[in-house]
Amino acid sequence: MTALEAAAALRQKKVSSAELTLSALAQIEKHNGRLNAFLTVTAEAALEAARAADADFAAGLDRGPLQGIPIAHKDLLLTQGVRTTGGSKVFANYVPAQDGTVVRKLKEAGSVMVGKTLLHEHAYGITCNNPHYGPVRNPWDTERIPGGSSGGSAAALVAGMCLLATGTDTGGSIRVPASYCGVTGMKPTYGRVSKHGVLPLGFSLDHVGPMARTVRDTAAMLQAMAGFDERDQTTVDRPVPQYLPAEGEVSLAGLKIGLPQNFFFEKLDPQVDNAVHFLAYTAQDLGAELVEVRLPDGHQLNVVSQVLLLAEAAAVHEPYLRKQRAAYGADVAALLDMGRLIPATDYLQADRLRKRMLGVFLNVLKEVDCLLVPATPFAAPLIGQTEVEVAGSLEDTRLATTKYTRAFSALGLPVLSMPAGFTKAGLPVGCQIVGRPWEEDLLFKVGAGLEDRTGLWKRTPASL
């Protein structure tokens, strides 16, 4: 059942929020021992909130489509009275006094928090092989990673442990797990969703976004999350449009979708290439025009993005790393050490280059309405796998995994990540639909059209 189907059932009195919440908690009980998607489960508070949602329905109070829907929050988002670890030992006992803005807004929309999902330590990595709390496992194959850093959220959605989940994305942390687990996620435009009350990693790169099984659920969730927040100076005060696409078949007539001829379709698993091109032809079938485009060098942009993140993360973690070095896992500590050695001149020139490259991307996005590219170059690697063979050469798993996602965090462009297909081994692979700033609504429209036609989200792992 999708969140919007559940919302309709709630209003038709076919189900109660308490029943939906009990069902989610039962799935957590059944699968979390194997998947390790949740770090904290708030069963008692969830049932109390569900009963309150049911009472609101009975009193005629309707807060919108999220009312009574079970939701999980990435354990990077501050939750009042519920510990927020950041997947780390440093914050292992941190219990915030207040909710962050996004948690508060989703609570006000009536959603029911069932718990906090595990992530890569400090959200600084894509494996979710957490040295302190154990690995999160991919529901499609538990020997494989779910992607990260929002891997717990993605795995929880696949396993029906919640109907909605929050994620954060600094270099691909929503889109990579969405791709590896076969769910949908939106990295909104930088400034669209408040980061207040979210443990930071890279302050000019961090984004908060929605994750769900379907495009329409993701759109409904962003509707509740988006907007200016005076407590986050990077948010922008501009109207939030209607994100949820209209019911019925979506026409993409009149839309131009760009397919890059460089970088994004080079050195990737042919199965991913085929899946994304299949979606492109599906879009064409729905009326869109496919246009070949050339983009700035992806390798160069990735270097710029890495320099920015290494330096910013090192600056953020400096006080903790000095005092509690032993509390950091080896991979994160190594990245933070590297960040301390990035010259200030390189950081400043990287910021300058980012702005220049954004200008080139925006020029391309004047010619087309959006871009369609793979999310990851291959399906989920095995837990502990440090290298992946791609097109005949061995590549570092972490760097190769983020090579198609990293740039869009640095550029701040909105990106919808959604399932594109499955490999012969039955593993999901995802695509990214990239748009102009503030045009998330257009991306949801394209995504809904593709999703309605392919129905890929309906597949679930046999083991579940």
Partner 1 sequence: MAEAQRIELSETSRERLEGLSKTMLGLRGLIDWTEEPGRVYKVEGPAEEPQQ
Kindly state the number of chain residues that form the binding site for partner 1, as judged by CB under 8 A. 38
Is 287 among the residues that bind partner 1 (CB under 8 A)?
Answer: no
Nearer to partner 1, 343 or 384 (CB): 343
Q: Is 463 a catalytic residue?
A: no
Query: Do residues 202 and 161 touch, judged by C-beta distance below 8 A?
Result: no
Is residue 343 near partner 1 by the rule CB under 8 A? yes
Which burial class, exposed, middle or buried, applies to 119 when counting CB atoms under 10 A from its CB (0-12, 13-18, 19+)? buried
Question: Tell me, what DSSP letter sits at residue 254?
Answer: T
Hey, which residues between 230 and 249 contact partner 1 (CB under 8 A)?
A: 233-238
User: Minimum CB separation from partner 1 for residue 355, in Å?
Assistant: 5
Does 337 sit near partner 1 (CB under 8 A)?
yes
- Segment interacting with partner 1 (CB under 8 A) among 2-10, 102-110, 228-236, 442-450: 228-236
Q: Between the CA of residue 192 and those of 39, 66, 129, 234, 383, what are the distances in Å?
A: 28, 19, 30, 9, 34
Q: Which stretch binds partner 1 (CB under 8 A): 90-98, 118-126, 342-350, 376-384?
A: 342-350
Residue 62 in the binding site for partner 1 (CB under 8 A):
no
12 binds partner 1 (CB under 8 A): no
Distance of alpha carbon 385 from alpha carbon 300, whole angstroms = 26
Q: Is 173 a catalytic residue?
A: yes
- In the complex, least distance from residue 346 CB atom to partner 1, rounded to whole angstroms: 5
Q: Is 344 in the site for partner 1 (CB under 8 A)?
A: no
Single out the segment in contact with partner 1 by CB under 8 A; choices: 13-21, 126-134, 179-187, 332-340. 332-340
Whole-angstrom distance, CA of residue 408 vs CA of residue 410: 5
Stretch that binds partner 1, among 244-252, 265-273, 339-347, 443-451 (CB under 8 A): 339-347
**CB within 8 A of 422, min separation 6: which ones?**
182, 275, 428, 429, 456, 459
Of 81, 134, 359, 426, the residue at the interface with partner 1 (CB under 8 A) is 359
| The only residue of 91, 124, 133, 190 in contact with partner 1, by rule CB under 8 A | 190
Sign for the pseudo-dihedral over CA of 355, 314, 99, 77:
positive
- Fill in the amino acid letter for 23: S
Q: Is 394 in the site for partner 1 (CB under 8 A)?
A: no
**Catalytic-role residue among 149, 153, 179, 305:** 149
Interface pick for partner 1 out of 355, 392, 424, 455 (rule CB under 8 A): 355
Does residue 204 carry a catalytic annotation? Answer: no
Our finding on whether 429 is near partner 1 (CB under 8 A) is no
Shortest CA distance to 156 belongs to which of 171, 173, 139?
139
Residue with tokens 């994750």: 211
* Helix (H) or strand (E) segment spanning residue 460: none
Q: Count CB neighbours of 362 within 10 A.
A: 13
Q: Kindly tell me which residue out of 132, 340, 453, 459 binds partner 1, with binding defined by CB under 8 A.
A: 340
Cβ closer to partner 1: 294 or 299? 299
Closest CA to 380 of 335, 420, 418, 425: 425
Residue 40 pairs with which residues in a beta bridge?
116
Strand partners, 257: 290, 370
Nearest approach in angstroms of CB 360 to partner 1 is 10
Comparison of 39 and 357: residue with beta carbon closer to partner 1: 357
Distance CA 102, CA 225 (A): 6
Helix extents (H) in 189-259 = 215-225
Residue 298 Cβ vs partner 1, minimum distance, rounded to whole Å: 12
Do 421 and 274 form a contact (C-beta atoms < 8 A)? yes
412 sits near partner 1 (criterion: CB under 8 A): yes
Which of 26, 348, 394, 425: binder of partner 1 (CB under 8 A)? 348
Q: How far apart are CA 443 and CA 441, in angstroms?
A: 5
Q: Is 362 in the site for partner 1 (CB under 8 A)?
A: yes
| CA-angle at 316, arms to 190 and 437, nearest 5° | 5
Minimum distance between the CB of residue 129 and partner 1, rounded to whole angstroms? 17
C-beta closer to partner 1: residue 199 or 309: 309
Residue 328's SS3 state is: coil
Q: Among all residues, which ones are annotated catalytic? A: 74, 149, 173
Residues that bind partner 1 (CB under 8 A): 189-191, 233-238, 299-300, 303-304, 306-307, 310, 334, 337-338, 340-343, 346, 348-350, 352-353, 355-356, 358-359, 362, 411-412, 437-438
